[in-house]
Amino acid sequence: MITIVIETNFGERLKELRKSHSLSQRKLAEALNLAQSSIFSYEKGQKSPTAEVIIRAADYFEVSADYLLGLTDDPHGDISNSMKKRLEMMAWLEAENEELKKKIKAVLDALLKNDGGIGEQ
């Protein structure tokens, strides 16, 4: 699995959302099918989330991936087209083979679908 490393507010947003929903780290971990130590590490900024984790958390809290990543302050907001292109380019550069490229594209397409069309104006 490839992790796209981006300087984000993911951990801060995750903790904020978890607390606003009165969830313990353990309960959130169960809901997202993760280890409690992963939630702790995300919240402390010690670990970067995979695209899959970002999608699961966005779905669970009903917010956009953009919001979780700190790219917008609007929980249902979109990011610019240029940011979308940068994310796609980063993913493609990390791909080592065609099968991996297909998987990355599927994740990006899911992100776009979840967020109602990132960057579409």
Domain limits of the chain? 10-114
Eight-state DSSP code of residue 47 = S
Q: Are the CB atoms for 50 and 3 separated by under 8 Å?
A: yes
Report the alpha-carbon distance of residue 86 to residue 50 in Å, rounded: 16
What's residue 119's pLDDT? 45
Secondary structure of residue 12 in the 3-state scheme? helix
Cβ proximity of 101 and 95 under 8 Å: yes
Q: Rounded to whole angstroms, how far apart are CA atoms 22 and 5?
A: 28
CATH H-level, domain 10-114: superfamily: lambda repressor-like DNA-binding domains (1.10.260.40)
For residues 88 and 36, which has the higher predicted lDDT (pLDDT)?
36
Mean pLDDT throughout 64-68? Answer: 86
Specify the amino acid at residue 12. Answer: E
The rounded mean pLDDT for the chain is 79
7-11, 41-45, 49-53, 71-75: least confident range: 7-11
Q: Given a cut of 60, is residue 3 above it in pLDDT?
A: no
Tell me, yes or no, if the pTM score tops 0.75: no
Could you give the CA distance from residue 15 to residue 44 in angstroms, rounded to a whole number?
Answer: 9
pLDDT tens string 71-107? 778 787 765 555 666 677 666 666 666 677 777 778 8
What percent of the chain is predicted at pLDDT more than 70?
Answer: 67
| Residue 19: strand, helix, or coil | helix
**CB 57, CB 13: distance < 8 Å:** no
